[in-house]
Amino acid sequence: MSESHPGNKRRYPRPWIIPPGLLMLNEPYEGFNVLDETRSELGVLLWQSLRDVDLWASTRPEARAALFSPGSLRRRTERIEAEVPVEHSARALLEAIARLLAAPDRVSELEVSDVCQEVSRWASDEGMPRTALAYAQRAAMALPEEAGPAYLVGLVSRRAADYRRAETWFRRALALGRRNRDWRYYALAHLGLANLHMQRGDAPRARVRLLRALRASRRYGLWSVRSMVLHDLFCITATGEHAEHAEMYARAAFRSYGRRHPRLPMLAHDIARFWMSRGHHARAFQTFRAVLPHLTRLSDRLLAWANLAQAAGGAGDEDAFTEAWSRVWRMIDTGTDLERAAEALINVASGAQSLGQWVRQEMASSYALTVAKRRSEAQQRLKAEELLESARRAGMGRHEPDPAEPPPEFSSKSGDLAEALVAALTETMDT
């Protein structure tokens, strides 16, 4: 037997420690949040479907054959047909979950996870964040060793301002992605944590995460993720000390996305916000107008209309501001998703300030402060407090606004980028 040399230590594989995701929801009984958020027959069906998934997941595979009573599928199908119109976007999803009742022993964990993820995305798009979170967690519980479902829980938790939960699930997705060599979700988890830090106002930690995600995207050829990282690097640079470098990232993100990428409208929206922050309100207004027809998600449309209001106020267009003001309040009054509400109202308040409409400024900033406190959004809270104090100091319309400083010169490169963005967005709508 050969004698091992003390300097030649044997290397053992590194044990991967997978942190748990926070599961407990603040509700009196399982599925309460779904019922409370929807308060309709559709909500009852979503709740029943959620409880079916819970029952299926908590039963041993060999005992699932006799899990549901005979006729369960027929009764559920009849109820879906009676309560949910054929054209409703949720009907196919409810029918897919109902098929669990027909053959629960022949349905795979992957199928259950996939349909729960689809319901979660649908609920998120419909402005139902708590329903989205409930189904996202069921998707992750069905496939506990996969990074993708864990990442989705982090994403919807962050949108619902449940930052503690979001961080645990992003960290879990990060560890699972690294262990499984699922580099896409490894990079996306870094991106998710970066956005979480940005919402908390911690720009340095956000930048570190973004650079890690950028390195991973380059190393493993994740070009779609690279585009998203460049987009977020633009956003964080635009609000930092080196704003002059922001358009470099903006142009890189535009080239990386291409003219027909589904996220291009959001990039154009964020670039327009940057121009607006630099005083180029008219140029930003044109870009926001081109972006709006592309947005379907409620929170995205809310923010776009709010930015349109701010740009109109800065440009001195009272009619356009009044239209956007009405649109924003209508969406807030009729919606339940407050993901971007504080940010939107702050932008509306800024537009009112530019026009000297101090009453509207106070109204919007006051409610923005309430929402920001409720959602623990530190940056938005500070901005809302500043705008509210400014409105009160102005005496609710008794003083004229201070004359605005002339904006810096709009460079030829910026002009070329603006024209290319508007052309790409218009071209996509025409085809």
Question: Do residues 87 and 54 touch, judged by C-beta distance below 8 A?
Answer: no
Q: Which residues contact 179 (CB under 8 A, 6 or more apart)?
A: 16, 18
Question: Do residues 326 and 348 touch, judged by C-beta distance below 8 A?
Answer: no
Residue-wise pLDDT tens digits, 231-289: 999 998 887 766 678 889 999 999 999 999 999 999 999 999 999 988 899 999 999 99
336: DSSP letter: -
Question: Do residues 204 and 242 touch, judged by C-beta distance below 8 A?
Answer: no
Residue ranges of the alpha helices (H) in 65-128? 72-83, 91-98, 109-125
pLDDT over 80 (residue 210): yes
User: Does residue 68 or residue 412 have the better pLDDT?
Assistant: 68
Q: What is the DSSP track for 282-319?
A: HHHHHHHHHHGGG--SHHHHHHHHHHHHHHHHHHT-HH
272-399+412-430 fold = 1.25.40
pLDDT over 90 (residue 186): yes
Question: Do residues 370 and 385 touch, judged by C-beta distance below 8 A?
Answer: no
Residue 202, Cβ density class (10 Å: 0-12 exposed, 13-18 middle, ≥19 buried)? middle
Distance from C-alpha of 253 to C-alpha of 247, rounded to nearest angstrom = 9
Look up tokens 């998710």; give the residue: 192
User: Does residue 410 or residue 62 have the better pLDDT?
Assistant: 62
* pLDDT over 90, % of the chain: 62
pLDDT category of residue 67 using cuts at 50, 70 and 90: confident
Q: Which residues contact 382 (CB under 8 A, 6 or more apart)?
A: none
- For the ranges 30-44, 167-181, 338-352, the maximum mean pLDDT occurs at 167-181
How many Å from the N-terminal Cα to the C-terminal Cα in the chain?
75
Look up tokens 């919007």; give the residue: 364
Distance from C-alpha of 65 to C-alpha of 63, rounded to nearest angstrom = 6
Distance from C-alpha of 309 to C-alpha of 185, rounded to nearest angstrom = 36
Q: Which residues contact 383 (CB under 8 A, 6 or more apart)?
A: 346, 368
pLDDT over 50 (residue 4): no
pLDDT over 70 (residue 15): no
Mean pLDDT of the chain: 88
81: DSSP letter: H
pLDDT category of residue 430 using cuts at 50, 70 and 90: low
Distance from C-alpha of 115 to C-alpha of 420, rounded to nearest angstrom = 38
Q: What is the pLDDT at residue 2?
A: 43
Same fold: 17-53+68-171 with 272-399+412-430: yes
17-53+68-171 fold = 1.25.40
- How large is the average pLDDT for residues 402-415? 68
Q: What is the pLDDT at residue 404?
A: 55
Distance from C-alpha of 313 to C-alpha of 322, rounded to nearest angstrom = 9
Residue 7, Cβ density class (10 Å: 0-12 exposed, 13-18 middle, ≥19 buried)? exposed
Question: Do residues 25 and 133 touch, judged by C-beta distance below 8 A?
Answer: yes
pLDDT over 90 (residue 135): yes
Among the residue ranges 6-10, 69-73, 427-431, the one predicted with the least confidence is 6-10
Distance from C-alpha of 250 to C-alpha of 278, rounded to nearest angstrom = 15
Q: What is the pLDDT at residue 247?
A: 87
Q: Which residues contact 408 (CB under 8 A, 6 or more apart)?
A: 278, 279
Look up tokens 């140029």; give the residue: 283
Number of alpha carbons in the 13 Å side-chain half-sphere of residue 16? 14
pLDDT category of residue 205 using cuts at 50, 70 and 90: very high
- SS3 state at 69: coil
Q: What is the pLDDT at residue 407?
A: 63
Q: Which residues contact 119 (CB under 8 A, 6 or more apart)?
A: 46, 49, 90, 93, 97, 131, 135
pLDDT over 70 (residue 386): yes
Question: Do residues 203 and 240 touch, judged by C-beta distance below 8 A?
Answer: yes
Residue-wise pLDDT tens digits, 214-223: 999 999 999 9
Query: Domain boundaries in the chain?
Result: 17-53+68-171, 182-257, 272-399+412-430
pLDDT over 60 (residue 53): yes
Residue-wise pLDDT tens digits, 146-164: 999 999 999 999 988 899 9
Distance from C-alpha of 366 to C-alpha of 332, rounded to nearest angstrom = 14
User: Does residue 65 or residue 178 have the better pLDDT?
Assistant: 178
- SS3 state at 12: coil
Residue-wise pLDDT tens digits, 85-115: 888 889 999 999 988 878 888 889 999 999 9
* pLDDT over 70, % of the chain: 90
CA–chain centroid gap for 97, Å, is: 25
Q: Which residues contact 140 (CB under 8 A, 6 or more apart)?
A: 21, 113, 149, 150, 152, 153, 169
Distance from C-alpha of 236 to C-alpha of 152, rounded to nearest angstrom = 23
